[in-house]
A = this chain, B = another copy of it.
Amino acid sequence: MDNNPQQCVIALDAMGGDNAPLVTIRGAAQALEESNGRFNVLLVGRKSEIEKIIKQENLNFPLENIIHADDVIGMDDVPTTALKRKDSSLAVCVKLIKEGKAHAFASAGNTGAVMSISTLQLGRIEGINRPALGAIIPTLKNKCLVLDVGANVDLKPTNLYEFAVMGSVFMQEIFNVSSPKIGLLSIGEEDSKGNELTINANKLLRESKLNFYGNVEGRDVLKGEVDVIVCDGFVGNVVLKFAEGFLHFLLRKFKDSAEKSFLNKLRIGISKSILKDILKVFDYQEYGGVPLFGVNGISIIGHGSSSDLAIKNMIFRAYETHQHKIIERIRESIQKFHLNDNY
């Protein structure tokens, strides 16, 4: 391993994801090739298996960058038991960070396990009580960060406030938005509308120094009026997965239409490229992955069904997160925007 002490090192969980390790290895090789020396990539997992694929696929990936880990946490394994398995590729990734041998790690594996291991082993950033999972979604204007989309349920208003601070930092640093507009997902636009959680979070955000836009209703999520949308992980997860299901539903309906008649088939064939273009904006592959916000170390989480392109992009996201010092920026911001003792 040609280690330049200044160089950013990214550990990739080679075994994590529905199509691992084939796509993770391909993605890692592509990322390394395109890195132009800006970062190095370590592949963490079953060494012999990884070496075999590198040879079979004739990939240009240095064998000394493979870090052996005996155990693999499956996509359906329970996070609490996964925590105990010290030889898993995930556990070894986190260990590399703790030992200073990697600056960031990325995984498309079992999200619950990645969250648990990251939170427990890396700890939380001071001032953040609940780490959050983010998702980048398309809108009619710019991209928007939604958090939390599944890491936490049954939250307090201060948790949503912390999410807003973290989201603001992220959109500022990574998407170059100068003063990110924060929206609070609720029912009804008025400040007084919502449930107990959002009504109180609204007050907190109104009083804060953040650029708070106000409540955002379900129908306005894709309008792009805000840069960050904060919500309870239960609601965020339901909405995100509903969007996924909605796209499947529409594609299936188009397919059914095509099968109904030859004329329909022709019509749909003709407009297929447009349909694909439109649906592409919802393709998570393009973005790759998002950091687990609030953890005291860079832990990038990708979609289980990531392709090699998504894996490559996820590695670039890890690099950017390191370059932009997101952890430090969150630490500074949460202190700067510190809530008074009433909360």
Interface residues of A (CB under 8 A from B): 139-140, 150, 153-154, 185-187, 194-196, 198, 217-223, 232-235, 237-246, 248-250, 252-254, 257, 264, 267-268, 270-271, 273-274, 277-278, 281
CA distance A254 to B220 in the complex (A): 18
Are B278 and A254 interface neighbours, CB within 8 A? Answer: yes
Chain copies in the assembled complex: 2
Are B153 and A238 interface neighbours, CB within 8 A? Answer: no
Return A251 CB to nearest CB of chain B, in Å: 10
| A221 touching B194 in the complex, CB below 8 Å, given contacts A268-B271, A281-B253 | no
| A237 touching B218 in the complex, CB below 8 Å, given contacts A254-B278, A267-B274 | yes
Return A9 CB to nearest CB of chain B, in Å: 34
Are A237 and B187 interface neighbours, CB within 8 A? Answer: yes
Residue of B nearest to A185 (CB): B238
Of the candidates B187, B271, B273, which one forms a contact with A234 in the assembled complex, judged by CB atoms under 8 Å apart?
B187
Are B274 and A257 interface neighbours, CB within 8 A? Answer: yes
Residues of B within 8 A of A223 (CB): 245, 249
Are A238 and B140 interface neighbours, CB within 8 A? Answer: no
Are B217 and A246 interface neighbours, CB within 8 A? Answer: no
Of the candidates B221, B238, B250, B271, which one forms a contact with A218 in the assembled complex, judged by CB atoms under 8 Å apart?
B238
Residues of B within 8 A of A194 (CB): 153, 234
Are B187 and A153 interface neighbours, CB within 8 A? Answer: yes
**Beyond the given A219-B242, A270-B270, could you list 11 further A-B residue pairs with CB under 8 A, ordered by the A residue number?**
A139-B249, A150-B187, A194-B234, A218-B241, A219-B244, A220-B245, A223-B249, A234-B235, A238-B239, A257-B277, A270-B271
Return A201 CB to nearest CB of chain B, in Å: 13
CA distance A274 to B238 in the complex (A): 28
Are A264 and B274 interface neighbours, CB within 8 A? Answer: yes
Are B274 and A268 interface neighbours, CB within 8 A? Answer: yes
Residues of B within 8 A of A237 (CB): 187, 218
Residue of B nearest to A195 (CB): B153
Are B238 and A195 interface neighbours, CB within 8 A? Answer: no
Are B245 and A196 interface neighbours, CB within 8 A? Answer: no
Are B153 and A196 interface neighbours, CB within 8 A? Answer: yes
Residues of B within 8 A of A252 (CB): 140
Interface pairs (6), CB distance under 8 Å: A218-B243, A219-B244, A238-B238, A242-B243, A254-B274, A254-B278
Are B218 and A154 interface neighbours, CB within 8 A? Answer: no
Are A219 and B245 interface neighbours, CB within 8 A? Answer: yes
Residue of B nearest to A258 (CB): B274
Residue of B nearest to A224 (CB): B249
Residues of B within 8 A of A186 (CB): 234, 238
Residue of B nearest to A232 (CB): B195
CA distance A195 to B151 in the complex (A): 11
Are B195 and A234 interface neighbours, CB within 8 A? Answer: yes
Are B196 and A218 interface neighbours, CB within 8 A? Answer: no
CA distance A186 to B244 in the complex (A): 15
CA distance A281 to B239 in the complex (A): 20
